[in-house]
Chains A and B, each alone.
Chain A
Amino acid sequence: CEATWAQIEWSDVCCCLSLQGYFFNANNPYRDAPSAFAEGQEKAREGDLNAAVLLLEAAILQDPQDSEAWQVLGTTQAENENEQAAIVSLQRCLELRPNNLPALMALAVSFTNSGMQRDACDALRRWISHNPRYKHLAVDGRSPSELQEVLLLFQEAALLNLDCVDPDLQTGLGVLFNLGSDFNRAVEAFSAALSVRPQDYLLWNRLGATLANGDRSEEAVEAYGRALELQPGFIRSRYNLGISCINLGAHREAVSNFLTALNQQRQSQRCSHQQMSANIWAALRIAVSMLDRPELFQAASAGDLDLLMQVFDVGDV
């Protein structure tokens, strides 16, 4: 195990542990916990995302070659609205296990959210080429993936499913249509996936985000509502809900939602300087700026969560 420990650097200027771009929480109380991975998965299922992250990080520190731990850490960080951490984790997973389909799909989604179209298409192409059901469709030695090419590939694959719906394939289609700004078709794809998996809160959020980006904000709010009913700790969906509130002019509701999300992130463990999502703070600042209360904007800029929670009457969940 010495070779892998050498890669984990302990910076002598500050106390940060990092491994090829993933920055671990410094004072992890679960550091030496046995069965950290199993517990991490359980916490993620319960919606306690911050605790899940800490447990999964512990599992990885105990065994940096655990590709499944990297995968779950990646998807959990995405749910926790920490896209960069998600991308790095999923990439580490795929280095260890290049054919991990859930990791490839999750990575494509994260790249899409980050505006990295080419990388998203590449991940989706790899998803097809490693998928036992569809890999015969992928031509080897293809040049860098173009959106239209990969879309065609997924549509060909969909034709193979005449009497059933493959929700994962439909998710890929939904992502591709999002990349091409064809929001109506993306909505159809995610709806098809939901018909097979109506309890999948990730799918409800993806449907909502697609509706929102296609300017159908009211319908988006409904979809996010379904996601949050199924998983109240789903930080990303609550962030999205806040964004839609801004778009609908409901600025107070937007602020409320962002504060709830930030508080949920903070509550779990107060030991890291990276717990709360930068995105959510940025969105909160925007929502607060629209309320025309300069003293609150000052509090938002300084990161004073307690004061804002008091003013907007956001209690502990």
Chain B
Amino acid sequence: MATPSDQNVEFVRTGYGKNTVKVLVIRREGRHHFIIELKADVEITLKSRKDYLTGDNSDIIPTDTIKNTVHALAKLKGVKTIEQFSLDICLHFLTSFNHVLRAKVYMEEAPWRRLEKNGVEHAHAFIYSPEACRFCDVEQNLNGIPVVHSGVKNMTVLKTTQSGFEGFHRDRFTTLQETKDRCFCTSVYARWRYNKSHDIDFDAAWKCVKETIIEKFAGPYDRGEFSPSVQKTLYEAQVLALDRIPEVDEIEIVMPNQHYITIDMTKMGLTNKDEVLLALDNPSGNITGTVRRKQQAKL
């Protein structure tokens, strides 16, 4: 029954699901075991809004079922990559029911690294190595094509030189000194979109983007590469990534600038030549950019 306030309200968007569904999948090839541990957020949007409007639950697929579905699909389909598994989950919800309008999955992979010593791999032991977090998200509408994004986050890198910042705009509130040589520390976030969902080596693409960002940040190992700004380094990483992976159409990178400040020790009678620095917790600079491949005409 419509109450007076219903007439003043219309839906913008709805969706519900289960967050933080975690599973560990083990694949055994004799004594050699492979693992992938993931954490998934799954959201679906139904055709009808009667659950919100009138409290009629008859269309609702319980979030508990959504959780069970993730478990069951991990067993039935296996998990080769988080991207493929996310695609499988979306496809399942859109094709197993006739009242689901849209499915979205966000997934993170736990950074387990197989133990290795002197080139010898351990058959079944791993160590948690969070040098970068791999994530992905897939969104698909009913009768639509899935859109896949992959990403890397919390990849923290630092270099002690080959970074400067000069020639910036000055006004009455500017006190920053120009510098030709500073530390550059950032925790990279990058997210990119593929132009298709079949036939992509997601592992290779992720590895390539991660390595490209590190390559542009660090430069050649003996002498590095000068960075006139975070913006320039960020852009160069994007251009190189798009160049190397034709299946990627668009990439967003966010690089906070985590500042290290040389501590003034003159009051202690010491001359600190940029040797002892203070890690500034806050604030931090935040540099962002998104580029996409220029639309090519098709022969």
Using a CB–CB cutoff of 8 Å, the interface residues on chain A facing chain B are 12-15, 21, 23, 81, 83-84, 109, 112-116, 174-175, 178, 205-206, 208-210, 212-213, 220, 236, 239-240, 243-244, 246-247, 273-276, 278-279, 281-283, 286, 302-303
Contacts and interface: CB of A to CB of B under 8 A. Distances in A.
Contact of A84 (B91, B199, B297): B199
13 contacts: A13-B76, A13-B77, A23-B198, A113-B299, A114-B246, A115-B246, A175-B299, A213-B296, A274-B145, A275-B143, A278-B145, A282-B195, A302-B141
Contact of B299 (A112, A244, A278): A112
A210 B299 contact: yes
A209 to B, nearest CB: 4
A209 B298 contact: yes
B73 A303 contact: no
Contacts of A283: 295
A12 B72 CA distance: 13
B296 to A, nearest CB: 6
Interface core residue of B94, B145, B297 (most chain A CB under 10 Å):
B297
B92 interface: yes
A103 to B, nearest CB: 16
Contact of B143 (A15, A115, A178, A273): A273
Interface residues of B, number: 26
B249 interface: yes
A249 B158 CA distance: 43
Given A13-B88, A14-B96, A303-B141, A113 B199 contact: no
Contacts of A13: 73, 76-77, 88, 91-92, 96
B299 A109 contact: yes
A209 B297 contact: yes
A101 to B, nearest CB: 17
B196 interface: yes
B298 A113 contact: yes
Contacts of B92: 13-14
Q: Which 6 A-B pairs have the closest CB atoms?
A: A115-B246, A209-B297, A212-B297, A14-B95, A278-B145, A240-B297
Contact of B297 (A23, A213, A278): A213
A27 to B, nearest CB: 12
Given A113-B298, A281-B144, 16 more contacts: A13-B76, A13-B77, A109-B299, A113-B296, A174-B299, A178-B299, A273-B142, A273-B143, A274-B145, A275-B143, A276-B144, A278-B145, A282-B195, A282-B249, A286-B295, A303-B144
Q: Which of B92, B94, B296 has its CB near the most chain A CB atoms (within 10 A)?
A: B296
A243 B297 contact: yes
Nearest to A287: B295
A84 B196 contact: yes
Nearest to A26: B95
Interface string B71-94: 001001100000000001001101
Nearest to B243: A115
A220 B297 contact: yes
Nearest to B140: A273
Nearest to B91: A14
Contact of B298 (A236, A247, A273, A276): A236
Contacts of B195: 278-279, 282
A16 to B, nearest CB: 8
Interface in B46-66: none
A172 to B, nearest CB: 12
Contact of B198 (A84, A244, A286): A84
B200 to A, nearest CB: 10
